[in-house]
Amino acid sequence: MANLPVGTCLLAGCGYAGARLARRLAARGPVLALVRSEASAAALARSGVPVLAVDLDGGEAFPVPEALGSVVYLVPPGGAGGTDGRFRRFLAALGGARPGVLLYVSTTGVYGDTRGAEVDEATPPAPGDDRARQRLDAEGQARRWAEARGARCAILRVAAIYGPHRLPLDRLRRGEPVLRAEDSGPGNRIHVDDLVAACEAALERPVSGVFNVTDGWPEPMAAFTTRVAALAGLAPPREVGWSEARDLLSPGLLAFLRESRRVCNDRLVRDLGVAPRDPEAGLRASLAEMGLGT
């Protein structure tokens, strides 16, 4: 295993993936995690991670470690518009800190809808909503901030994250339908532990630029959900067309389904050395961690 940058890792955003990453990094060196709520801070502290609850939207100050080796930012954008003011305030709060590396976790949503065509890191971004536009804006902020300080900057564009306790089991148990495969383009996903491995590799290796983080097995949501049902011992979902889906599925899910692309992960495998597990292996591991599965 390669070495992490010397000094403390300041990790902002310890939700589903960030908390797993924080625990991994804390086992290898000094970490200071920033979370939004006291409840999240208490939960992470119980696992041995030094943590502070900080309101980034309120301009709340936080201590910047003197020996700052790296900064990892996993906080989603907030508010309306096409710029990420939350990230801008965070960077301003770092003052004159000069870490060796800044890792910003973005989304493959910045590519927009390509109607199923393949995209790689050289594909021009074409975000289709404010959320994706804010992510792209934050990517630019990260590059400029790192360049001004002589820091290495790595940006991970992450596909939909799944893993233990992040599976459509409740929707399956409620009998909710899915959009049929012929009406849905390919979806891109990554197991949470493969994302954590990508973050570690981006910190350890002398790499910079953009990396797509996806498992390389794009498939429609119907196929993925049916696979989950089979492995969990549940009835397969009913498939519906767009006319029914508009009345039965949530607006957020419909927005996700309207965008379609095949995301290439060659740089993830070649330059970060991460070989993501396929959906079958990822789902089996996720269910096993939950004490479920066939």
Give residue-wise pLDDT tens across range 34-43. 999 999 999 9
Q: Confirm whether 184 is domain-assigned.
A: no
**Predicted confidence (pLDDT) per residue in 212-230, tens digit:** 999 999 999 999 999 999 9
- What are the residues facing 179 on neighbouring strands? 240
* Secondary structure (3-state) at 16: helix
**pLDDT above 80 (res 186):** yes
Q: At 125, list the tokens.
A: 């971004």
Query: 33: domain CATH number?
Result: 3.40.50.720
Q: Confirm whether 85 is domain-assigned.
A: yes
Which H or E run contains 159? none
Q: At 161, list the tokens.
A: 């994250």
Q: Confirm whether 272 is domain-assigned.
A: yes
* Contacting residues for 33 by C-beta, under 8 A, at least 6 apart: 11, 12, 14, 18, 22, 26, 44, 49, 50, 51, 52
Which H or E run contains 63? none
Q: Confirm whether 200 is domain-assigned.
A: yes
**pLDDT above 90 (res 61):** no
d(CA 168, CA 231): 12
DSSP string covering 191-242: EHHHHHHHHHHHHHSS--EEEEE--S--B-HHHHHHHHHHHHT-PPPPEE-H
Tell me how far the alpha carbon of residue 233 is from its chain's centroid: 28
Residue 267 structural domain: 8-167+189-216+262-277
Q: At 172, list the tokens.
A: 């399956």
Per-residue buried b or exposed e for 88-124, using 16+ beta carbons within 10 Å of the residue's own CB: eebbebbeeeebbbbbbbbbbbbbbebeeeebebebe
**Predicted confidence (pLDDT) per residue in 236-276, tens digit:** 999 998 888 888 888 888 777 888 899 999 999 999 999 99
- Alpha-carbon distances of 178 from 73, 223, 242, 251, rounded to whole Å: 33, 9, 10, 13
Q: Confirm whether 118 is domain-assigned.
A: yes
For the chain, give the mean pLDDT.
Answer: 94
Q: Confirm whether 255 is domain-assigned.
A: no
* Secondary structure (3-state) at 282: helix
Cβ pair 101, 124 in contact under 8 A: no
Which position has the token pair 């269910």? 287
**In this predicted structure, what is the pLDDT of residue 1?**
63
**In this predicted structure, what is the pLDDT of residue 294?**
65
Confidence of residue 152 (pLDDT cuts 50, 70, 90): very high
**In this predicted structure, what is the pLDDT of residue 182?**
85
Q: Confirm whether 175 is domain-assigned.
A: no
* Domains identified in the chain, total number: 1
